[in-house]
Amino acid sequence: QAGADLIALSFVRDAADITRVHEIMAEEGRKVPVIAKIEKPQAVDNLEEIIDAFDGIMVARGDLAVELPLEAVPVVQKRAVEMCRRMAKPVIVATQMLESMTHAPVPTRAEASDVANAVLDGADAVMLSGETSVGDYPVVTVQTMARIVESTEEHGLERIRPFSAKPRTQGGILTLAANEVAEFIEAKYIAIFTESGDTARRMSRLRPGIPMMAFAVDPAIRRRMALTWGVQSTLVEHVAHTDMMFMQVDEFFLGQGLATEGDKVVVISGSPPGIIGSTNDIRVHRIGDAVHGKAPIYQSEK
């Protein structure tokens, strides 16, 4: 009712725990993605089925370390991140990331390495809790974490383990192909038209070195994609024909100054537009061709 974009469920033990949450949402006429907090031994045992049933997970290492031997937690974290990448679900690494900054303006070197290693594991997000809720340096802590993440991505992106799992869906194999095409032609951007955010997540897990821009019709879907690694996004109006998407691509990239005429972008979309799970098209588009009508397909809708 408050308009939350995501809900995190604590002390999840198995996939069935999401059932009651969905029942409550149905009673309220709402459907909000649910993040499972992994903090119980039973959740570790049932990790794969939980990731499959929920919309994403949070590795809550503080409570997890109370329930498991502390030396087991790093391995659980890496396993959880790997599974989420394979299943194209967002994963958050949380708790005690920069704990010393609760009362100090500078983190320990071990904490800086902890944040960096979560990025290198392939996590979509890292989360602060006590450091910002009750800490003395909340703004400095956020700025510090952002610097660590940005530096790690700038200098260590190639160190993230390549995604090697065989895609299980049409969207998965198309994003894999689109990434290879984008690298081969040295595309300026990968443009992703998405109804649910799923195609953007499948592209994100590949950790492409080329910037991704997602085009969404639904504002709620756009907000939720903020949790997906590396995905920038914009809102567009629904169009009746796939070819009109290229007009939207030109107008956005040229209007924002993100590309110049002649730059190449790889566009992933579904035809007909507006149907979830319809991803079936990859095209190499030259910026400017649509707005200048250089091909018959680029005509205004009547």
Does the residue 2 lie in any domain?
A: no
pTM: 0.92
Candidates 132, 134, 158, 155; CA nearest to 145 is: 132
**Domain span at 292:** 170-298
Q: Give yes or no: residues 145 and 176 share one domain.
A: no
142 and 58 share one domain? yes
Which pLDDT value is given to residue 275?
84
Query: Of 136, 159, 182, which one is at a domain's C-terminal end?
Result: 159
Instruction: Flag whether 273 is in a domain.
Output: yes
Are residues 200 and 253 both part of a single domain?
A: yes
Give the model's pLDDT for residue 299: 57
Q: E strand or H helix at 169, and its extent?
A: none
Beta strands 56-60 and 279-286, pairing class: unpaired
Of 127, 159, 191, which one is at a domain's C-terminal end? 159
**Beta strand pairing status for 56-60 and 34-38?**
parallel
User: Per the domain annotation, does 282 fall within a domain?
Assistant: yes
- The per-residue DSSP string of 8-77 comes to EESS--SGGGHHHHHHHHHHHT----EEEEE-SHHHHHTHHHHHHHSSEEEEEHHHHHHHS-GGGHHHHH
* Beta partners for residue 36, in sequence order: 9, 57
Q: Does the residue 1 lie in any domain?
A: no
Question: pLDDT tens digits, the chain, 302 residues: what are they?
Answer: 788 999 999 999 999 999 999 999 999 889 999 999 999 999 999 999 999 999 999 999 999 999 999 999 999 999 999 999 999 999 999 999 999 999 999 999 999 999 999 999 999 999 999 999 999 999 999 999 999 999 999 998 888 888 888 888 898 999 999 999 999 999 999 999 999 999 999 999 999 999 999 999 999 999 999 999 999 999 999 998 888 999 999 999 999 999 999 999 999 999 888 888 889 999 999 999 998 887 656 555 44
Q: Which of these three, 137, 159, 181, is where a domain ends? A: 159
What integer pLDDT is reported at residue 272 of this predicted model?
83
Residue 160's pLDDT is 87
25 plus 135 within the same structural domain? yes
Q: What is the CATH number of the domain that holds 292?
A: 3.40.1380.20
* Domain identity same for 221 and 146: no
Q: In terms of domains, do 259 and 177 share one?
A: yes
Q: What is the pLDDT of residue 243?
A: 84
Number of domains comprising the chain: 2
Q: Would you say residue 165 lies in a domain?
A: no
Give the other-Cβ count within 10 Å of 9's Cβ. Answer: 15
